Amino acid sequence: MADQNRIEQLAINTIRTLSMDAVQAARSGHPGTPMALAPAAYVLWGEVLNYDPAQPAWPGRDRFVLSCGHASMLLYSILYLAGVKQLGEDGRPTGEPAVSLDEIKKFRQLGSRCPGHPEYRETSGVETTTGPLGQGVATSVGMAIAARWLAATFDRPDFDLFDFNVYALCSDGDLMEGVGSEAASIAGHLKLSNLCWIYDDNKITIEGATSLAFSEQVAARFSGYGWNVLEVEDVNDLDALRGSLEFFRDNNDGPTLVIVRSVIAFGAPNAANTAGAHGAPLGEEEVRLTKEAYGWNADAHFLVPDEVATHFRDGIGARGQRAYESWAMKFAEYAKRYPEPAEQFRRIQRSELPDDWDADIEPFPADAKGLASRASSGKVLNQIAKNVPWLLGGSADLAPSNKSLIAGCNDFAPGSYAGRNFHFGIREHAMAAICNGMALCGLRAYGATFFVFTDYMRPAMRMAAMMGVPVFYILTHDSIGVGEDGPTHQPVEQLAALRAIPNLAVFRPADANEVAEAYKSVMQLKDQPAALVLTRQNLPTFDRNSVAPASGVRQGGYVLADAADGDAEVILMATGSEVAVCVEAWRQLSAEGVKARVVSLPCFELFDAQPEAYRDAVLPPAVTARVAVEAGVEQGWRKYLGTRGRFVGMSSFGASAPVAVLLKHFGFTAENVVAAAKGQL
């Protein structure tokens, strides 16, 4: 027992000293939390996680999320000690360490696999990008949901293959942020007993004691959410940690919060009790004194005792290998007995769609009255859902308005974890983060709400774009066309705001057939999220015999209608509902002998990715007389308008009035566009 206690403490102190040395070498970072939480990381990785370091993409593995991303060195230290292997571009292990000692020595430096906060795809073993507090815990809820859905959908008698547990280490900041509260609330409602948050109750934040701003009873709050709450008075009490995690694994009535208490001090006197500065390097002298307090070689840097490396190799390394091999053998037998679900699962893991997934998408006939694009979206969504069983999602309490439910499918709920319709409640921020977690597990997840509420979703949407996960968003009520609800519900700046996010594809289709084509593009994205921005009001469905086919959406922008000889002297550009206004203006201009072209630009990002020759064919550089029409702010349009072009759009918030009154008041009429075009000439 004494030898076991010694190697455990040696392993914990190795995590601590690696973290101290890396932060000190970088002269940047947070050493305190990695030092404080080293015992929790040791117990989780050394004894609890069902995880094979040699197969970090194994779908049956438990997920570990370091939500307090500022403590990144805790994760990098444990990935190094556990021997986690790096994945190649094909998703297979390369045999190379995900984190080497050299990478740790380059902590927070350009090109290192140990950036300041953990980044998904950059470093294998990092299950999600974390940094903005609250994102990690909220994303972990999506992972737990995915595990429950996969198990309910694919498990068979004697084949419990697809469920897994999700663990998240979190801080005071994660619980203060509103998204953490939203996520905890829905996790409790859904009784996700495969979810465990370990909360570091260390009583300190950057400004000082948490009592400055945080005095709530966390245990009572989470009990009210429907969580099981356990408390560990000292994070160094490994047996208490083990007991709490054992309770979690035996529990099946709701998620578990383990509150652990640690000490983050600011000097060597408390070093043996997990000392360390919270938000800055300790300094060379403090590092020496702290190492001495650990009984460590004060002159050694990045020291990893051989027996610690052996301890991890014989622990999680051997245990994980056995678990993976057992799972792989079981899955091989499963595939023989249940070939169809096995193939579906393989496609999920490869991010592949079923064959003929779009076979049921039907063209919409020409219709002057038309459909709201939210309505055509609902039709296309259901046509696709028939053939993509792992397409699932829902709305932030707006499903009747968003048309975002999948017909004939159950709700995802306790006792119905195979359901494909989600009711996220009025929790837009958590919805977006939960969708990220589901997508990180291979599911095609979507979230729906009114477009104006992307202001609440933006942090998680940004994370999706940064990670390159193909979540998509159904965003309706897209403009002043909302009408009487007024400016609080009328998006004006939101289109520009979403287009400003790198790697997010924003589609604003002009009619029902553009909606269908937008879905075809969105569903084939593998490393990019997308937003479908849709109307409340009806849009005419264009007669595609008299204008160009909607397949031009695949290029992001295309010539919808042209001058008789194709030699335009003025170009009218628009997205969404304003395209029809431009088509009417084009008819009037053509009748007056003005050579005009109408360009539909449903997706700037796709259009900008086209070859220059194509873009110049759609928007000839020689034609500088241009008018852009969009019920939003001008930002982002100047690259197409040039210095001379005229923008017809919003320069203020909207107003409360019937739609027709608003459109005329703000200038979204064919007559106004005609006047703008003539002004250009």
> Which residues participate in catalysis according to the annotation?
428
Cβ within 8 Å of residue 166, ≥6 positions away: 62, 63, 65, 140, 143, 144, 147, 194, 195, 196
Contact of 254 with 192, CB cutoff 8 Å: yes
For residue 331, the tally of other CB atoms under 10 A from its CB is 18
Which stretches of 109-250 are assigned E, i.e. beta strand?
A: 166-170, 195-200, 204-205, 208-209, 228-232
Q: How many Å apart are CA 482 and CA 516, to the nearest integer?
A: 22
**CB burial readout 201-222, b (16+ within 10 A) else e:** bbebbeeeebeeeeeeebbebb
For residue 106, the tally of other CB atoms under 10 A from its CB is 17
For residue 636, give both structure tokens: 């982002």
Q: What are phi and psi of 502, to 5 degrees?
A: -60, 145
Give the helix/strand (H/E) hosting 14.
helix 2-26
Cβ within 8 Å of residue 74, ≥6 positions away: 15, 19, 33, 34, 37, 38, 41, 66, 169
DSSP code string of 100-123: -HHHHHTTTSTT-SS-SS--TTTS
Cβ within 8 Å of residue 92, ≥6 positions away: 57
Which stretches of 334-452 are assigned E, i.e. beta strand?
A: 367-372, 391-395, 421-423, 444-450
Print the SS3 string covering 440-463: HCCCEEEEEEEHHHHHHHHHHHHH
For residue 51, give the nearest of 83, 14, 10 by alpha carbon: 83
For residue 606, give both structure tokens: 């796709």
Which amino acid is residue 191, in one-letter code?
A: K
Q: Identify the three-state secondary structure at position 472.
A: strand
Strands 570-574 and 558-561: unpaired
Q: Identify the three-state secondary structure at position 557.
A: coil
Q: Identify the three-state secondary structure at position 579.
A: helix
Q: How many Å apart are CA 306 and CA 309, to the nearest integer?
A: 5
Q: Identify the three-state secondary structure at position 324.
A: helix
Q: How many Å apart are CA 356 and CA 39, to the nearest integer?
A: 51
Q: How distant, in Å, are the alpha carbons of 86, 598, 650, 670 from that of 667?
A: 56, 18, 9, 9
Q: How many Å apart are CA 56 and CA 44, to the nearest integer?
A: 16
For residue 137, give both structure tokens: 């815990």
For residue 76, give both structure tokens: 């990098």
User: Listing from the earlier edge strand, what are the strands of the sheet with 570-574?
Assistant: 558-561, 596-600, 570-574, 626-629, 646-648
How far out from the chain centre does Cα 443 lie? 12
Q: How many Å apart are CA 558 and CA 186, to the nearest integer?
A: 43
Q: How many Å apart are CA 606 and CA 92, to the nearest integer?
A: 30
